[in-house]
Amino acid sequence: MGRLHVGVRLRLISSPVLVFHTNEGGLKQTGTHRTVRLLPTDPFTPRFCYRRFNLAPMRADEMNSQAQAVVDRQRRLGISPISDHDHRIMRLLQRVSTWFGNRDPPAVGATTDGAIPGPEGDLPVRLYRPDGPGPYPTIVFFHGGGFVLGSIGTHDWLCRQLTRETGAVVVSVDYRLAPEHPFPAAVEDAYAATQWAADNPDRLASDGTLAVAGDSAGGNLAAVVALLARDRGEPAVDYQALLYPGIGISDDQASVRENDGIVLSVADLEWFRECYYDGDIHQRNPYADPANACDIGDVAPATVVTAGFDPIRDGGVAYAEQLDADGVDVTHRHYPDMIHGFATESSIDRAEVALRAVASDFAATVGDES
């Protein structure tokens, strides 16, 4: 482990987000109800000692009003529950929802739709370039949607905002979807796109910095690509941003039980599993779920974002702890009053806040490495 220290001094401030940061200086937590910075005074405190103090709840007393409006809208449009529909109908409903949520997209320097070589033919991508002259960092982004839904279109607002906040070229990948293309198709596409980005710095006006990012299922893919890059020795990934990642999900987790039906239901989670894994044996593969890996040390530094009203919250929390235990620099940013998928919603102010925080972590990480 070696990154967290105990024996702490406590200082209370207030903040709308919980931050659990592990590095040489110890663990820092900030919270909605109260904030505690844990500063090292001796080297023997157990990992994540803040749990002993019960300093702040993982879920706020009330959902953020803007997040509640999104939940209500999804129910009116028939998007929730997801498992009630054929996957093709759900993809159509998502397009309608995207149109409502992204009618005034934030401006970036330029966007370009194209295709790159993939494992099974052309792989569609959308490139987002920031304003101003390069060179730029590169972020390869994988959209969410349970490996079944989602597209470069559904995550256009998020990628635009990520470009604006980070000043990076964002390569958004339209990887193959299940059930037509079950595991490992999405993983193969995600890794191929990341390798392509590393191999084409001139085309991307890259400064040599390479990161991976994704939300939900895309967060899973980003973590898997970081793991594959470590295991295969290439490409060199400098940072990973995992937004409410679909990692280590179990039906017996408290978050699954207490948030059942909020954006995602237990039935939805099972539906996604059946579509993607196409058999129980794949669920134990660490490249299907990196929580299965015996050791995730030496992967890229990470930011893990979780949300209080998210059924898959606890899997993300556990993965942040697993990263820390294996010696990876990780910042865990928790939003107690948020829902699954909030970072894609332009109507939720906290989405922009969260992406700005990710950009700050990214800049700090690559700045430390330069």
Q: In the structure encoding, which two tokens stand for residue 172, read together?
A: 């958004």
Per cent of the chain over pLDDT 70 is: 82
Q: Catalytic amino acids?
A: 216, 310, 340
Helix (H, G, I), strand (E, B) or coil at 273: helix
pLDDT in tens, 158-207: 999 999 999 999 999 999 999 999 999 999 999 999 999 999 999 999 99
Residue 187 contacts by C-beta under 8 Å, 6 or more apart in sequence? 221, 224, 225, 228, 287, 288
Q: What is the pTM of this model?
A: 0.86
Q: What is the predicted pLDDT for the residue at 17?
A: 62
* pLDDT band at 18; cut points 50, 70, 90: low
Helix (H, G, I), strand (E, B) or coil at 193: helix
- What DSSP string runs through 226-255? HHHHHHH--S---EEEEES---S--TTSHH
pLDDT in tens, 226-283: 999 999 999 999 999 999 999 999 999 999 999 999 999 999 999 999 999 977 778 8
Q: Given CATH 1.10.490.10, say whether it is the number of domain 64-292+338-369.
A: no
Calpha distance 132→124 (Å, rounded):
25
pLDDT in tens, 326-350: 999 999 999 999 999 999 999 999 9
Helix (H, G, I), strand (E, B) or coil at 202: helix
